[in-house]
Structure 1
Amino acid sequence: MESTIQLERSLSTRDLTIYGIIFMIPVAPVAFYGSFLTPANGMVALAYLIGMVAMLFTGFSYAAMAHHYPYSGSVYTYVQQGTNAGLGFIGGWGIALDYILIPTITYLISASFGNELLPAVPTWAWILGIAVFNTLINLAGVNFVSKFSWVLFGLQLIVLLLFIGSTLRLVFLGQVRPNTVALYNPQHFNISGVLQATGIVIVSYLGFDAISTLAEEAHDPRHSVGKAIIGAIVGIGSLFVITTILAGWVSPQYKLLNTNTAFSTIIYNVGGHNLVRLTDIVVVLSFGLAGGQEGQTAISRILYAMGRDGILPKPLAYLHPKYRTPWVAIILVGIVSLALSLTLSQDTVSNLVSFGALFGFLLLNLSVIWKFYIQNNNKKFKNTLKYLISPLIGFSVSLWIFLSLDIDSKIVGAIWLIIGIAILLYKTKVFTKATPHLHFN
């Protein structure tokens, strides 16, 4: 009965692009700007720009895989098809850690801002309400999630346009003077500091890969998924760079800012209390609902793919007969995210969230090189550029950031991978049986 139900194809390239942009949260600098200021010596826009270019190379690898394997599962499916089923499971298991923690970190940030807006509402109540609401939205179907994403994208765009417009108004009035300090400040330029900040900033780009988890719910996924991934990286990167350049215009003396309230102070300087309050409301909605919803959507599709293959329990692949959504996986993710949000701190989750994604990126880039360059006899310049040089750059950038993660992240990540290896050994009876997976046409 369950096998006769399939995911509903309803998403266009534009829907997928907006999904990816929303996942990466256009108003993210409001929450994170202060933490980037010191290591970047104020050149936050430069760090965002370098991060965008760096992530594009891994984005190209995703696009190449999506063109050849237009199926749900993201890294799990791509590494499986590019190398073998066992390595594919480990890659998918690794990136699952990132996706499991994304709803958690977004709930915690949203609850923090929500508690500032309405101190009478306890943090746990914010988290519970957001988790239940997001689970219900996800159960209703990805088309509903997509429509909700458009609304939340519109709200974020309004806040950013108000900030941009208010800043330009002060420029015309002569109260703000354009400068280049956010991109290049010769008095404080330090490339090692900028690169250190880039390693932190790159977290803002994690999530573009979630687009690939919706391949079986997209029209023409061979073309739309890759286009959406590249479009989302460029789109969100451009928003980040423009926003932080203007922030540098408003407050060029970055050392005078409180790192905990840096961007809120900048917004207050250009738009007053009303714009700050509107921004706080949109941040609550953007992190808690937009980021949380789409994180839950992504991890539920990865669990769906693993359940369908049989490497994880089959019920994870059960689709709701009416809404055609992986309802068991969605509810499980909702419960786990709620439990983690109520027990872990924001700092703890922030330090763990990058491990899984970067581990997956490493395996994905290597899979592209192996599948399309080493195993392919065509070594023309175009293929060398597309299937060797580009993924090699993507691999190198991911490895550099991966190695710079703190020791706690590496320890927890290693434990998570050991659990995955144990599952793989159990399912294959220590590799005496083939790793369960589907054979795609």
Structure 2
Amino acid sequence: MSGTNTLKRSLGLWAIVGLGLGYMTPTVVFDTFGIVSKETNGVVPLAYLAALVVMLFTAISYGKMVQVFPSAGSAYTYTRETMNPHLGFLVGWSSLLDYLLLPMINALIIRLYMESVFPDIPSWIWVVGYVIIITAINMWSMGKTSSLNSILVVFEVVLIAAFLVLAFNQLSNGMGQGTIFTTEPLFHSNIHLTAILTGATVVCFSFIGFDAVTMYTEEAVDQKIMPKAIMLTVLIGGAIFFVCSYFAQALFPDLSGFKVTDDTLPEIGLFVGGSIFKLFFLSGAFAATVASGLASHASVSRLLYVMGRNGVLPRKLFGYVHPKFRTPAFNVVLVGAVSLLAIAPSLELISAVINFGALIAFTFVNLSVIAYFVFRQKKYKTAKDIFSYLIMPLIGAGLTGILWYHLHIDALIAGLVWVGIGIVYMLLLTKFSKSKLSDLHLEEEDTRASL
């Protein structure tokens, strides 16, 4: 990495919101539709609504904390600085799980897309080819600008709008529920709260990215716009997810017509608009997934570099910078190697495991608001303070905790094993000394700066 970079404050409100939406990849609602529909027994939009409520409370807490720590907008930093270094480390370690697996998710989705178009070609070829290309680009460094991201987001939105028009037409002609206005996607006799909450844990994966908006604080023309940017990202993304899942659920009350339920986007495009629209739909989703793959691969590589540079991970390996390309070469290759595991797993399992780390992070963002404002700043003397700094984050933490409780058992086991490894590693790293851990900074530098 090229020393310390001074980032230019050039991003306005809507540029930041666009970056957040690009990271969220709105078309993912169609990828996971089959998984969530099966999980919720046909009320996907209700699962998104439940997740949106949780995300709104957490977004409010992010908005508060990003103003206190404007240069490091991450849950582990908040926890470390407001509560305890050991607890902060474990929150950071848990968050690292979803950072590491997100590039793998993108590789997995690309694999499923290509399988739908070229079913006779072995799936491992797509994963290996994709990972090699993404790894090579990141090795040489990647310049990701807000203008390029905006083009990709606009492309996605145009295709989503086209889907809604076609869906409107198909429903009017009797497909699915045969009507545009129906309560079936939101309520019917055979639904259960536990199933909805379990589905909400899966779709939380779709919202991952709104928290990444905090990383743009140092590049915002005015850091005061950050809380608004976070909230707008969640609201706009949530609205897209809800509307799209409503129309998809109205069109497909059950999954009997799908050949592949692990990623339903290709078949949704085919059934709604025919072969030509399927190709356009896939092309937009493909471009969005590749862009997200580049960003997530670069992000975790830089995060691992910062951890190596600060001594949290072995410095010689993770803190290594390639002398020619000025990139964290070891980390880039390591993330690529992890992404190769996308040859085998299902989207359902990996997205659930990702949510383990994300939900823990979201829980502690809410708790950090209480720790900082109530316990440190003593802001509990007025009704407004109590509501803003105690009740609201408590509700956010509680709701996030409920979703965490309803994670798939396999994801829960995998996540707890990961946390257990983190505890052992932390004890070995610090030799049980709190002061030694306090000297180590598990911080996330701006991952978009060119290395």
After TM superposition, the score normalised by the length of structure 1 is 0.86
1:180-259 equivalences in 2 (<5 Å): 180-188=182-190, 190-216=192-218, 218-220=219-221, 222-251=223-252, 253-254=253-254, 256-258=256-258
**Corresponding residue for 2:446?**
none
Q: Is the 8 A contact 1:139 1:330 kept in 2?
A: no
**Corresponding residue for 2:448?**
none
**Corresponding residue for 2:278?**
276
Cα pair distance change 1:69/1:142, threshold 3 Å: farther
97-106 or 82-91, which moves further after superposition?
82-91
Partners of 2:247 and 2:349 in 1: CA distance:
31
Q: Is the 8 A contact 1:79 1:91 kept in 2?
A: yes
- Whichever residue aligns with residue 80 of structure 1, its letter is R
**Corresponding residue for 2:356?**
355
Partners of 2:174 and 2:119 in 1: CA distance:
38
**Deviation per residue, 1:48-76 (Å, 9 max, x gap):** 12211211111112221111112246222
- Whichever residue aligns with residue 308 of structure 2, its letter is G
Q: For structure 1, which runs of at least 5 residues remain unmatched after alignment?
A: none
SS of the aligned residue for 1:113 comes to helix
The alpha-carbon deviation at position 98 of structure 1 amounts to 0.8
**Deviation per residue, 1:135-189 (Å, 9 max, x gap):** 4554666752544433332332222111112233456778752122355334445
**Deviation per residue, 1:26-45 (Å, 9 max, x gap):** 11122111222244342222
Q: Is the 8 A contact 1:214 1:301 kept in 2?
A: no
SS of the aligned residue for 2:356 comes to helix
Cα pair distance change 1:191/1:350, threshold 3 Å: closer
Cα pair distance change 1:101/1:143, threshold 3 Å: same
**Corresponding residue for 1:338?**
339
Partners of 1:107 and 1:186 in 2: CA distance:
36
**Corresponding residue for 2:310?**
309
- Whichever residue aligns with residue 4 of structure 2, its letter is I
**Corresponding residue for 1:114?**
114
Partners of 1:185 and 1:439 in 2: CA distance:
44
**Corresponding residue for 2:99?**
99
The alpha-carbon deviation at position 108 of structure 1 amounts to 0.9
Cα pair distance change 1:117/1:265, threshold 3 Å: closer
Give identity over the alignment, percent: 28
**Corresponding residue for 1:422?**
424
Cα pair distance change 1:344/1:63, threshold 3 Å: same
Q: Is the 8 A contact 1:106 1:292 kept in 2?
A: yes
**Corresponding residue for 1:77?**
77
**Superposition CA RMSD, Å:** 3.2
1:129-144 equivalences in 2 (<5 Å): 129-138=129-138, 143-144=143-144
294-303 or 20-29, which moves further after superposition?
294-303
Cα pair distance change 1:364/1:329, threshold 3 Å: farther
**Corresponding residue for 2:56?**
56
SS of the aligned residue for 1:178 comes to coil
364-373 or 419-428, which moves further after superposition?
419-428
Cα pair distance change 1:346/1:79, threshold 3 Å: same
Cα pair distance change 1:76/1:192, threshold 3 Å: closer
The alpha-carbon deviation at position 290 of structure 1 amounts to 2.6
- Whichever residue aligns with residue 29 of structure 2, its letter is P
1:150-161 equivalences in 2 (<5 Å): 150-161=150-161
**Corresponding residue for 2:124?**
124
Partners of 1:269 and 1:111 in 2: CA distance:
21
Q: Is the 8 A contact 1:131 1:337 kept in 2?
A: no
Cα pair distance change 1:120/1:282, threshold 3 Å: farther
Q: Is the 8 A contact 1:10 1:219 kept in 2?
A: yes
Q: Is the 8 A contact 2:101 2:339 kept in 1?
A: no
SS of the aligned residue for 1:35 comes to helix
Cα pair distance change 1:11/1:245, threshold 3 Å: farther
**Corresponding residue for 1:402?**
404
Partners of 2:227 and 2:63 in 1: CA distance:
4
The alpha-carbon deviation at position 439 of structure 1 amounts to 12
Partners of 1:390 and 1:69 in 2: CA distance:
20
Cα pair distance change 1:155/1:411, threshold 3 Å: same
The alpha-carbon deviation at position 438 of structure 1 amounts to 5.3
Partners of 1:135 and 1:93 in 2: CA distance:
23
**Deviation per residue, 1:197-243 (Å, 9 max, x gap):** 22332222233222334444x22573344333222211111111111
- Whichever residue aligns with residue 227 of structure 2, its letter is G
Q: Is the 8 A contact 1:79 1:367 kept in 2?
A: yes
**Corresponding residue for 1:31?**
31
The alpha-carbon deviation at position 405 of structure 1 amounts to 2.0
Q: Is the 8 A contact 2:305 2:328 kept in 1?
A: no
After TM superposition, the score normalised by the length of structure 2 is 0.84
Partners of 1:149 and 1:269 in 2: CA distance:
29
The alpha-carbon deviation at position 370 of structure 1 amounts to 0.8
**Corresponding residue for 1:21?**
21
Q: For structure 2, which runs of at least 5 residues remain unmatched after alignment?
A: 444-451
**Corresponding residue for 2:4?**
5
Partners of 2:89 and 2:121 in 1: CA distance:
41
Partners of 2:124 and 2:395 in 1: CA distance:
42
Equivalences, count: 435
- Whichever residue aligns with residue 131 of structure 1, its letter is V
Cα pair distance change 1:359/1:222, threshold 3 Å: same
Partners of 1:400 and 1:62 in 2: CA distance:
19
